[in-house]
Chain A
Amino acid sequence: MNAPPKKPSREFLKPPVTEVGVLGWLHSNLFNTWYNSLLTVVVLLMLWQLVPPLFGWAFVDSVWNSPAEACRDIEGACWSVIPQNISFIVFGFFPDGHQWRPGIAMLLLLGLVIFSKDSRHWKKSLAVYWLVGLVTMGILMYGGLFGLLVVDTDQWSGLPLTFMLALFGMVAGYPLGVLLALGRRSRMPAIKTLCVVYIEMIRGVPLISLLFMSSVMFPLFLPEGVTFDKVLRAQVAIILFTAAYIAEVVRGGLQAMPRGQFEAAESLGLNYNQTMRLIILPQALKIVIPPSLGILLSTFKDTSLVVIIALYDVLKTTKVTLSNPKWTGFSTEAYIFLAVFYFICCYAMSNYSRKLEKALHTGR
């Protein structure tokens, strides 16, 4: 096999120039039929009409960091609405002069999330880091220790609130959902019925009504004097809601597992817990990464619904900014900013899930 392959007697011709390279690509992708050619031309014309003015509005005629007055007599975008109000948009009603606390808490959270992405760090020590991190974040947010001013959860708002509701919603909702999925497949009728009723009930109502119930109805049932924190109640509602949806997705994954996997595990003498933990769940959860991600993304975005029970997440703080007479009329810019923020977060999650899927692929 070391000898160079013999040159064949026939000549290898180059393909026609219209089939390869840029021309070939254009031909096969944009102009391969008459209607595709028509579509291409129409789309190009539309882009020609739309893109330059949009670009001019957003980048050329715009102001980026000026007082509100300067925005009144320009043609372009007034991005100043963001930097001029950034501390309220991000931190909301957190007391002035203490906003470094949620700031550090968020950086800590971001650091932990980035650290946890790497599968090499998935050890017992990771749980310890998270515990330490969460306690630190709690102290930073609530205060009361080390001479920090106590900041009640009523004043937690903006980005920290959004991140908190989303992160705990996902991190607590997911395992709860897995347990519910296992419960729904249980052979014990009581457990099975309980899980089915729970899942169907939660899936049968909108998140908004759950939030309402948690904030308005739930306190009515409590004895006088007993109160639960409002943020906590919203958080629980989000967790319960996410869990019900995750449960059904995970159940789908469990049903996709071939019977042989259960039998092979059982015939080795593994018990139910070991079979699930070591054999079935790792495979089933891998199968359902894409739909699970969809639910987790919804959870993240749905946190903005907490406005209806008067919690100020980042969407609401932005709205409040816009209700300031100085800044009314610049909602387009503000909402574009928010859209970009939500997109970046969701895209990062989506990207990570794709990488995870690839890393877990073992060739079958």
Chain B
Amino acid sequence: GAGPLDAPGASKALACSACHGLGGQSPSNTMPIIAGIAPWYFKKAIEDYAAGRRPSPEMEPYAKYVREAGIDDLAAYFASQSRQPTAVKVDAGAVERGRVASQQCVVCHVESGKGDPAKGIPDLRGQPPGYLANQMLLFKADQRSPGDPTLKALKELMKSVPDDQIADLAAYYSSLR
């Protein structure tokens, strides 16, 4: 019979679980959850890493592996995994402060936090807070996709957000379901 590892992408995705967890369900605070990731965003992220546009010493080689192994199979596999929100706990006070501060984000990430594929905005809900905060700091320092003109507005905004508010926003988006 068909086992859980029989889907075309499943065996290829075994290279990812060392960091992202089985099925993309990362247990740590630093590695993003990629279970249930939208295929359009998965593909954009992989292409950005492979081209060196989004610098990551870990992901550049693995993105090239994904291209070799078949990006469509892997995108379909991770999209088919149901996303469990992170088990990393966040402080209720930080979540509340983050909720208030998130008014500057909803224009793109929308009220629910689930983003907008039509505008290229990813889903932030339930990601580990450490991962979210780190990505915001990378935007702020123009280290994620440096110089990318399409992310100019986002980065200008991030530069105005103090670091402690970044932690609050991370806690808030991490807590969303």
- Do A and B truly interact? no
Interface on A for B, CB 8 Å cutoff? Answer: none
